[in-house]
Structure 1
Amino acid sequence: MNTKTTATESKKPGFVAKVRKGSGENAVYERIGVAWKNADGSFYIKLAGTQLVSDFMLYEIESTDQSGE
């Protein structure tokens, strides 16, 4: 099973990990890390800091490439 990226693949993360604090209109989302999707469909998740997290959400990062405009 090969999970290495090729030279043409981006090494930038494709997802951001966030936790929700609060509820309703007062809810805020704190970024706690990033994630990459491996070739086999699994995810490599890199959490930042030393927080204790029991659950989190992954959001796909929108492309900021504007070369097509």
Structure 2
Amino acid sequence: MEQRNADAADVGVKNRRPTFIAYQVRDGNDQASYWDRVGVAWSNRDGGYTVQLHSIPLSGRIVLSRPKARDEA
């Protein structure tokens, strides 16, 4: 029963724009940070988030940022 409810909630995610873009942020040697897009996240009705990662960073940190017009996918 739980699995079916989770699947039903995921169906709506495919047709919505993401709430956040997930970036891997790594600090560089020259005090610059490198931001690589690694996924997206959608808000759920219960206040939580569904996160879909396209890759899993081995170092650095993951930052969720609101999408800009050019970032929406």
Given the two structures, how large is their TM-score scaled by the length of structure 1?
A: 0.62
Residues 1-69 of structure 1 mapped to structure 2, 5 A cutoff: 4=9, 5=12, 11-23=16-28, 25-49=31-55, 51-52=57-58, 55-63=61-69
Question: Where does structure 2 lack aligned partners over 5 or more consecutive residues?
Answer: none
Secondary structure at 2:22 match in 1 = strand
The alpha-carbon deviation at position 22 of structure 1 amounts to: 1.5
User: 1:11 is matched by which residue type in structure 2?
Assistant: R
| Runs of 4+, deviation exceeding 6 Å | none
Instruction: Provide the alpha-carbon RMSD of the alignment.
Output: 2.9
- Greater helix share, 1 or 2? 2
TM-score normalised by the chain length of structure 2: 0.59
Aligned length: 59
Deviations 1:17-58 (Å, cap 9, x if unpaired)?
111112464211111100000011100000003544674111
What 5-or-longer segments of structure 1 have no aligned partner? 65-69
User: Kindly, what percent of the aligned residue pairs are identical?
Assistant: 24
